[in-house]
């Protein structure tokens, strides 16, 4: 490990940061160091502009005609292609729609239908829970389907992958620890036994470069409100590899996925290509907010993003361990930057109170039970100086015991 | 039929309209008579205010904390209760989420699970098609389920209702003709044979008073972007009668419907009450736009709304038949206002061109193949004078044959 940098060295890192001008595109409140962009990304001027345009101009002035004149109807696929560039998906394979949970349901059903002689769904015991809940839901409507979990039915996911497996649902980056899976290797392993694989990119899209096409992935889903900064509950996405698009079918067969949605035919005929993953009418205002957020990415070099992400998280680990090491913190994330998403988690016996105290002092991360304090580093708007300041505050809270203040012990509804 | 009113009489009707001040809450472009609020409702100042607040204040300034501080997490149920008052649903039975199509999937699955010894789903052959597409999707994931259609398997829906039927999915107002079903009678008939009934309220909510509780309905779904003016693709809703809430289960079992969404438990446990129809994280910006739109309804007398709706549509029929009767128009809607939603449809052999010509002259309705021209009358912002002027334009287009202009023959992507 290199020597602990001082503030001057850290300010030099910011001065040399090729992404530093991106911060001006975002609105960040004064007095806040925002290390929770992995939960909800920050707002941007581009988003406000798109919202304004879509509501006061297109909707208010063009009314129903805006479905044509403003291209509303094609928003799911135009945004899909725009987002596809950030996850290594060539055009025509990504669509923005609905929620991550609903999209998991669609792709799991689609994958099971493509492997009618198999019945096992493999997932991770420490998955973000909604993935498991949706897999349960799929199993409830697919007689004979069985869910097998890493950490429950076997210690590693690789040991669960055999010829009985229809589909593997796996998080690219673990929401809690930040551990990054090897997409190429696990996809290859799935294909060796004839299984399909679904990558959950919630903690990846916008956090680091993803190469779905190159990894030969089958399907992917993810949200757009974390590192992509699309706004609270912004619509999610689905990727389906081009080679599957002709045969794939999913049961949420609504009119937006129909081959001829405005012919008002009685029977369902799946549309061509990725559109067949659409179901109902999408929330255009939230979609357009997302467009504003995605436009920002047109100017981002993903290699520079990854480099900065690793540098920010390495620096955070280094400073915390150097300055706070005596105060009961244990690194939960891996120390190897190449196997880590853009987040760092530490364990602390009183993690909830520590995080409440941090937030009270303007350093916003989050807490995941039972004892994880989690910090997300969005390279577009987090500076090296932010990292330094956050650690100063954390050190002070731990050293002084400020987190023991009784007002930090009460539970909030959502953290 | 009474004598044809002249313009002075029509202006007197506007002057006496108890709802006339509501028009000022909406933005309507100059030179437009908007008779397509049954497809996409108009924008309002209240919507813009909510969007502004949710984006530039709550999101931008409170960031992740807004899930608590701004009540985002409870938006689906708070909006649900607010909307419930317009459809005769006591609190705790309505939730705003996802799309109508997805909500149909949820309630049909839930209803089938409540009648495990039955397998028939009854719907209408001339339903809005997505209802049928979703029923197909449900049948594809529920072995043995059979879809039987009014107009295909029997002339009337009543003839299809017997002891084999698990659930009936029916539109309260037909999207094309505007025909209004008798909710009390059909619900009673369903219950007589032990079946459940799902009412699709897309063309009802905000168009006329609905009394779900009084009718003893089981479930309902609907959209909020038509007469409720929630914005393009605004989130949809689900109603489930309180008596079903303890036992009902649906397969889109995402984390927002979990009993303890922030405990991050591995297994799914359905939340209590109507929340169990939730699935994934909802698009908060579109939800908040809807809140602005629903706030307007707090000041609306639903009886006055219905009275004006019937008066507007009666007047339209009367004036069209008196002034345009010679030009090949046939009334498709019923003449009986009590059995009609807030829309009027006419058939015309060249309906597509006639509608294009109307839109070109600023009278916006829409066209539904093969020959329906459809006009929606939103009592909150359509005046009697609008009706009079729309008929003047229609008469001119038909009398002069202006609709024969070749530029009205080309098909647009969406109408």
C-alpha A351/C-alpha A409 separation (Å) is: 10
Q: pLDDT tens for residues A131-185?
A: 999 999 999 999 899 999 999 999 999 999 999 999 999 999 999 999 999 999 9
**Min Cα separation B171/chain A (Å):** 15
Question: How sure is the predictor about A313, in pLDDT bands with cuts at 50, 70 and 90?
Answer: very high
Residue-level pLDDT at B3: 87
Q: Which two tokens stand for residue A313?
A: 């998280």
Residue range B49-297, CATH number: 3.40.640.10
Q: What is the DSSP-derived secondary structure letter of residue B60?
A: I
What CA–CA distances, in Å, run from B107 to A306, B90, B191, B226, B295?
44, 19, 17, 21, 27
Does the pLDDT value for residue A29 go beyond 90? yes
Residue-level pLDDT at A415: 45
B148 in active site: no
Interchain CB distance below 8 Å, B254 and A99:
yes
Does the pLDDT value for residue B215 go beyond 90? yes
Question: CB within 8 A of A246, min separation 6: which ones?
Answer: none
Over the Cα atoms of chain B, what is R_g? Answer: 22
Residue-level pLDDT at A414: 46
- The 3-state DSSP class for residue A267 equals coil
Residue-level pLDDT at B412: 62
- The residue whose two tokens read 């954390």 is A394
Q: Is A93 on the interface with B (CB under 8 A)?
A: no
Q: Is A27 on the interface with B (CB under 8 A)?
A: yes
- A314 — phi, psi (to 5°)? -60, -45
Does the pLDDT value for residue A25 go beyond 80? yes
Number of CB atoms found within 10 A of residue A299's CB:
10
Residues of B in contact with A152 (CB under 8 A): 266
Q: pLDDT tens for residues B81-116?
A: 999 999 999 999 999 999 999 999 999 999 999 999
Does the pLDDT value for residue A2 go beyond 90? no
C-alpha A233/C-alpha A223 separation (Å) is: 8
Give residue A144's region: left, alpha or beta (phi > 0; psi -120 to 50).
Answer: left
Hey, of B26, B232, B410, which one would you mutate to test binding to chain A, going by the most A CBs within 10 A of its CB? Answer: B232
C-alpha B104/C-alpha B112 separation (Å) is: 12
Question: CB within 8 A of A46, min separation 6: which ones?
Answer: A25, A292, A293, A295, A296
Q: Is B233 on the interface with A (CB under 8 A)?
A: yes
Q: What is the DSSP-derived secondary structure letter of residue A209?
A: -
- The 3-state DSSP class for residue A19 equals coil
Q: What is the mean pLDDT of residues A215-234?
A: 98
Written as one string, the DSSP assignment of B96-121 is E-S-HHHHHHHHHHHHHHH-TT--EE
Mean pLDDT score of chain A: 96
Residue-level pLDDT at A345: 98
Q: pLDDT tens for residues B2-27?
A: 789 999 999 999 999 999 999 999 99
Residue of B nearest to A59 (CA): B43
Written as one string, the DSSP assignment of B278-293 is --S---HHHHHHHHHH
Q: Is A378 on the interface with B (CB under 8 A)?
A: no
Q: How far apart are the first and last CA of chain A?
A: 33
User: Which residue, A376, A299, A87, A344, is CA-closest to A208?
Assistant: A87
Written as one string, the DSSP assignment of A36-74 is -TTTSPPEEHHHHHHHHIIIIIIIIIIGGGHHHHT-GGG
Q: What is the DSSP-derived secondary structure letter of residue A342?
A: S
- B123 sits in which H/E element: strand B120-124
Sign of CA dihedral B224, B227, B230, B234: positive
C-alpha B138/C-alpha B146 separation (Å) is: 10
User: Which residue, B135, B93, B101, B85, is CA-closest to B248?
Assistant: B93
Q: Catalytic pick from B36, B98, B200, B366?
A: B200
Residue of B nearest to A73 (CA): B414
Per the annotation, where are the binding residues of B for pyridoxal 5'-phosphate? Answer: 100-101, 128-131, 200, 203, 225, 255, 281
Number of CB atoms found within 10 A of residue A212's CB:
25
Q: What is the mean pLDDT of residues A183-188?
A: 98
Residue-level pLDDT at B338: 97
C-alpha A105/C-alpha A135 separation (Å) is: 7
Q: pLDDT tens for residues B388-403?
A: 999 999 999 999 999 9
Q: Is B137 on the interface with A (CB under 8 A)?
A: yes
% residues pLDDT > 70 (chain B): 99
Q: What is the DSSP-derived secondary structure letter of residue B89?
A: -
- CB contacts < 8 A (A, B): 286
Does the pLDDT value for residue A395 go beyond 70? yes
Closest to B27 (Cβ–Cβ): which among A60, A64, A138?
A60
Q: What is the DSSP-derived secondary structure letter of residue A338?
A: G
Residue of B nearest to A135 (CA): B253
- B363 — phi, psi (to 5°)? -100, 105
Are B221 and B238 in contact by the 8 Å Cβ rule? The answer is yes
Does the pLDDT value for residue B258 go beyond 80? yes
According to DSSP, the β-strands at B196-200 and B165-171 are: parallel
- B69 sits in which H/E element: helix B66-69
Does the pLDDT value for residue B78 go beyond 70? yes
- A27 sits in which H/E element: strand A26-27
Q: Which two tokens stand for residue A175?
A: 């929401």
According to DSSP, the β-strands at A330-331 and A343-347 are: antiparallel
User: Which residue, B297, B293, B225, is CA-closest to B45?
Assistant: B293
Q: pLDDT tens for residues B52-75?
A: 999 999 999 999 999 999 999 999
C-alpha A406/C-alpha A59 separation (Å) is: 49
Q: Which residues pair with B258 in a beta bridge?
A: B270
Does the pLDDT value for residue B1 go beyond 70? no
C-alpha B341/C-alpha B263 separation (Å) is: 45
Does the pLDDT value for residue A188 go beyond 60? yes
Interchain CB distance below 8 Å, B254 and A282:
no
What CA–CA distances, in Å, run from A335 to A4, A151, A174, B159?
16, 22, 15, 69
Interchain CB distance below 8 Å, B60 and A29:
yes
Q: Which residues pair with A75 in a beta bridge?
A: none
Interchain CB distance below 8 Å, B254 and A284:
no
Q: Is A138 on the interface with B (CB under 8 A)?
A: yes
Does the pLDDT value for residue B413 go beyond 70? no
Q: Where are the domains of chain B?
A: 7-30+301-408, 49-297
Q: What is the mean pLDDT of residues B272-287?
A: 98
Does the pLDDT value for residue B414 go beyond 50? no
Residue-level pLDDT at A3: 87
Are B130 and B104 in contact by the 8 Å Cβ rule? The answer is yes
Interchain CB distance below 8 Å, B369 and A264:
yes
- A330 sits in which H/E element: strand A330-331
Q: pLDDT tens for residues B337-391?
A: 999 999 999 999 999 999 999 999 999 999 998 999 999 999 999 999 999 999 9
Interchain CB distance below 8 Å, A368 and B282:
no
Are A10 and A370 in contact by the 8 Å Cβ rule? The answer is no
Q: Is A32 on the interface with B (CB under 8 A)?
A: yes
Are B256 and B219 in contact by the 8 Å Cβ rule? The answer is no
Q: Which residues pair with B147 in a beta bridge?
A: B121
% residues pLDDT > 70 (chain A): 99
Question: CB within 8 A of A392, min separation 6: which ones?
Answer: A323
B128 in active site: yes
Q: What is the mean pLDDT of residues A224-239?
A: 98
Are A144 and A119 in contact by the 8 Å Cβ rule? The answer is yes
Residue of A nearest to B262 (CA): A414
Interchain CB distance below 8 Å, B61 and A29:
yes
Q: What is the mean pLDDT of residues A1-8?
A: 85
Q: What is the mean pLDDT of residues A10-29?
A: 97
Q: Catalytic pick from B374, B381, B384, B386?
A: B374
Burial class (CB in 10 A: 0-12, 13-18, 19+), B113: middle
Residue range A7-30+301-408, CATH number: 3.90.1150.10
Interchain CB distance below 8 Å, A67 and B232:
yes
Question: How sure is the predictor about A377, in pLDDT bands with cuts at 50, 70 and 90?
Answer: very high
The CA dihedral of A57, A59, A61, A67, to the nearest 10 degrees, is 110
Question: CB within 8 A of B336, min separation 6: which ones?
Answer: none
ipTM: 0.96
């Amino acid at each position: 490990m290199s020597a602990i940098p001082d503030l001057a060295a850290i300010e030099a890192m910011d001065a040399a940061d090729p992404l530093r001008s991106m911060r001006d595109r975002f609105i960040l409140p004064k007095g806040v160091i925002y290390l929770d962009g992995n939960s909800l990304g920050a707002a941007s001027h581009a988003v406000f502009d798109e919202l304004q345009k879509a509501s006061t101009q297109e909707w208010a002035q063009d009314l129903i005609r805006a479905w044509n004149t403003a291209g509303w109807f094609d928003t799911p696929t135009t945004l899909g292609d725009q987002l596809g560039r950030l996850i290594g998906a060539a055009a025509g394979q990504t669509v923005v729609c609905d929620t991550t949970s609903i999209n998991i349901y669609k792709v799991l059903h689609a994958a099971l239908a493509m492997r009618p002689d198999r019945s096992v769904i493999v997932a991770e015991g420490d998955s973000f829970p909604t993935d498991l809940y949706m897999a349960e839901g799929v199993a409830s409507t697919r007689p004979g389907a069985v869910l097998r979990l890493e950490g429950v039915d076997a210690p590693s996911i690789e040991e669960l992958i055999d010829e009985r497996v229809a589909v593997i649902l796996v998080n690219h980056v673990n929401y809690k620890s930040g551990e990054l899976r090897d997409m190429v290797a696990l996809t290859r392993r799935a294909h060796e036994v004839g299984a399909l694989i679904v990558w959950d990119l919630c903690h990846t899209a916008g956090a680091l470069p993803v190469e779905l096409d190159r990894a030969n992935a089958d399907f992917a889903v993810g949200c757009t409100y974390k590192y992509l900064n699309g706004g609270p509950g912004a619509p999610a996405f689905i990727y389906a590899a081009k080679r599957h698009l002709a045969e794939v079918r999913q049961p949420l067969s609504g009119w937006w996925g129909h081959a001829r949605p405005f012919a008002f035919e009685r029977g369902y005929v799946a549309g061509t290509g990725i559109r067949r993953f659409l179901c109902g009418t999408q929330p255009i205002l939230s979609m357009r907010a997302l467009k504003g957020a995605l436009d920002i990415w047109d100017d981002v070099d993903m290699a520079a993003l990854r480099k900065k992400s690793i540098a920010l998280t390495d620096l955070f680990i280094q400073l915390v361990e150097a300055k706070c090491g005596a105060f009961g913190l244990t690194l939960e994330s891996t120390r190897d930057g190449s196997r880590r998403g853009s987040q760092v988690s530490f364990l602390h016996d009183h993690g909830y109170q520590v995080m409440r105290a941090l937030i009270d002092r303007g350093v916003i991360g989050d807490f995941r039970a039972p004892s994880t304090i989690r910090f997300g580093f969005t390279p577009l708007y987090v500076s090296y100086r932010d990292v330094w300041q956050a650690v100063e505050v954390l050190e002070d809270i731990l050293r002084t015991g400020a987190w023991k203040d009784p007002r930090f012990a009460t539970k909030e509804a959502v953290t």
